[in-house]
């Protein structure tokens, strides 16, 4: 019987941020195909002796599929280790369709997204009561076009949190889109390069007006998350709207409100 392919999210970079389930699958894998252009090889340290480990950075989709199918004929557990979460910009469906056609079983193990890791690294929150309750995960159009209605200017018009992937080399386009959507020149912008990577993480804080110059000064040109949000810097605000969940004057099914708070 053929083996099973597990698409495992390696998380944002720190090998310790992989899920326990993902780590356990690596520990019993007979073969691991990891995205070496984005995933630190340290993430394969959990692999057992004798495990076949292959870096996919120089492979086409067809070559990756062929390798996974070949390994499934030899091993019960085969892992495709992907950066962040496999369902975000991970070409997941492109890789699973040939496996399904070949009768090979596969499953997905989610991972920590770089969007969450970037916010954590900078000690920021992506949502705040009465400020924004919506997070948009998107990118700028490059060689991969955006579908109709999903251009950054249209999304930015909502004035909610934007986590912008794969766009650091097009930061000028990000600035252009946010300006066209009416964002202020002093709107805070956060850029985090290699969020959570031991010894490699960079956190750059700026505004819509100066974030590109700051990133250029820090030589940040790849593997960076851009966050534009009305919540940035909230830790230093003089006042915040309280969360109802923890407000003593608010009743919910686990706690009765006190009369005076």
163-196 confidence digits (pLDDT tens): 999 999 999 999 999 999 999 999 999 999 999 9
pLDDT, mean over the chain: 93
Prediction pTM value: 0.91
Question: In this structure, is residue 49 part of a structural domain?
Answer: yes
Domain boundary among 83, 109, 135: 109
Phi-psi region of 219 (alpha: psi -120 to 50; beta: other; left: phi over 0): left
The count of structural domains within the chain is 2
Question: In this structure, is residue 254 part of a structural domain?
Answer: no
Token digits of residue 122 = 């900078």
Q: Give yes or no: residues 91 and 133 share one domain.
A: no
Q: What is the pLDDT of residue 142?
A: 86
Range of lowest pLDDT (23-37, 42-56, 243-257): 243-257
Distance separating alpha carbons of residues 36 and 56, to the nearest angstrom: 6
Question: In this structure, is residue 246 part of a structural domain?
Answer: no
Q: What CATH number is associated with residue 52?
A: 3.40.1010.10
Q: For tokens 């990891």, what's the residue?
A: 34
Q: What CATH number is associated with residue 174?
A: 3.30.950.10
**Residue closest to 170 by CA, chosen among 201, 205, 199, 211:** 211
Q: Give yes or no: residues 175 and 145 share one domain.
A: yes
Distance separating alpha carbons of residues 45 and 50, to the nearest angstrom: 12
Q: Is the C-alpha dihedral spanning 15, 21, 25, 27 positive or negative?
A: positive
In tens, the pLDDT along 236-255 reads: 999 988 787 777 777 777 77
**Residue closest to 152 by CA, chosen among 142, 139, 161, 165:** 139
Q: Give yes or no: residues 10 and 96 share one domain.
A: yes
Its domain, for residue 11, covers: 4-109
């Amino acid at each position: 019987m053929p083996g099973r392919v597990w698409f495992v999210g390696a998380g944002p970079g720190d090998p310790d941020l992989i899920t326990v389930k993902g780590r356990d699958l690596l520990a019993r894998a007979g073969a691991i195909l990891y995205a070496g252009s984005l995933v630190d090889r340290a993430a394969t340290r959990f692999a057992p002796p004798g495990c076949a480990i292959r870096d996919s950075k120089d492979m086409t989709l067809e070559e990756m599929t062929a390798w996974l199918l070949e390994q499934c004929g030899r091993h019960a557990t085969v892992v495709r280790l992907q950066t962040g979460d496999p369902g975000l910009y991970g070409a997941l469906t492109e890789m699973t369709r040939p496996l399904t056609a070949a009768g090979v079983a596969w499953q997905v193990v989610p991972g920590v997204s770089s969007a969450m890791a970037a916010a954590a690294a900078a000690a920021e929150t992506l949502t705040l009561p009465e400020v924004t309750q919506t997070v948009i995960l998107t990118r700028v159009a490059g060689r991969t076009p955006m579908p109709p209605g999903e251009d950054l200017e249209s999304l930015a018009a909502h004035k909610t949190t934007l986590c912008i992937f794969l766009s650091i080399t097009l930061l000028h386009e990000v600035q252009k889109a946010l300006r066209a959507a009416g964002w202020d020149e002093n709107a805070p912008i956060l850029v985090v390069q290699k969020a959570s990577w031991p010894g490699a993480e960079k956190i750059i804080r700026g505004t819509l007006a100066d974030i590109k110059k700051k990133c250029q000064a820090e030589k940040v040109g790849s593997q960076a998350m851009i966050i534009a949000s009305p919540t940035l810097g909230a830790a230093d605000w003089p006042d915040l709207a309280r969360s109802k969940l923890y407000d003593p004057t608010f009743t919910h099914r686990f706690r009765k409100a006190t009369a005076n708070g």
